[in-house]
Amino acid sequence: MPEGDTLFRTARTLGRAFSGTVLTGFRTQLAPLAAWNDQHPVAGQTVERIESRGKWLLMFFSGGSVLLTHLRMNGSWHVYRRGERWRAPGHAMRIVLENAAWQAVGFSVPVAEVISLHDLDRDRRIPRPEIDVLRPEFDAVAAVARIRAHPEEAIADVLLDQSVLAGVGNEFKSEICFACAVNPFAPIAALSDAHISEIVGTARRMVRENIIEDSPETTVTYRGLGRRTRHASDPRERVWVYGRAGETCRQCGSIIERRLQGPDARISFWCPQCQPVSSN
């Protein structure tokens, strides 16, 4: 599922193909975007830059508008050379951007809207750069304070709060808790500042390790390799606990457990031996 690492890689790839270029075409199946294009034609505008903030993708246009997209569970952006065959069905197309050499296609994008630069600064849905674990502006000390501000909430729920740590999703959540030996249901009040600081550092490290690429010239938006939170050569051993309920813990041999958690009933995975509630 798209998390901060996916959006970062997508923005990086789209940026290589489109940043600084003049758009030659725009199509969309979404009525609000079509209306925007009627009033402010996209063709002829320059893409100034493309960036990710947490789970949001932002495309900045020379006309002063910003295209926001959120992929949620199933959306994706693909980049193709002009004339190249799409690798997803045409009926899933929602947005197409074109320049002289490339075509960007947003498939099954559930959230897409255009706002002004002025409104972007005031939009509370879009994380500020210092909250995004992948941005150089990320402030770890402030992140610890934001987590500490939720004393009664479980650590796994707080990690998913994009106003606290933007870019951490459900898979990373379980992996971070395991790596820091913290039970996902432990309340923030039960954790020391040192432990919270370790969690913040681990979150940033894990997400960053999943944006490293083999070639700086790649134009692939999806690696197809799956996230890695372990340094294991076997791809079947790429994670510690996520998706491994009923299997043995790679560290102690206990059986990995799973349970729905939080107001959105997201699944948490953990090892009862390595992450006991009593240790937190």
Catalytic positions: 2-3, 55, 266
**∠ Cα 248 185 198 (to 5°):** 85
Query: Among positive and negative, which fits the CA dihedral 177, 265, 165, 143?
Result: negative
| Structure-block tokens of residue 268 | 């948490």
Calpha distance 80→232 (Å, rounded):
32
Calpha distance 241→270 (Å, rounded):
6
Q: Which residues does residue 49 pair with via DSSP β-bridges, in sequence order?
A: 60
Q: SS3 helix, strand, coil % of the chain, rounded to 5?
A: 30, 25, 45
The residue type of 169 is: G
CB 210, CB 203: distance < 8 Å: no
Calpha distance 149→191 (Å, rounded):
12
Which residue do the tokens 């609000």 mark? 32
Task: Enter the DSSP assignment of 137.
Answer: T
Burial of residue 176 (CB within 10 Å: 0-12, 13-18, 19+) is buried
Q: How many CB atoms lie within 10 A of CB 76?
A: 18
Query: Among positive and negative, which fits the CA dihedral 3, 6, 9, 11?
Result: negative
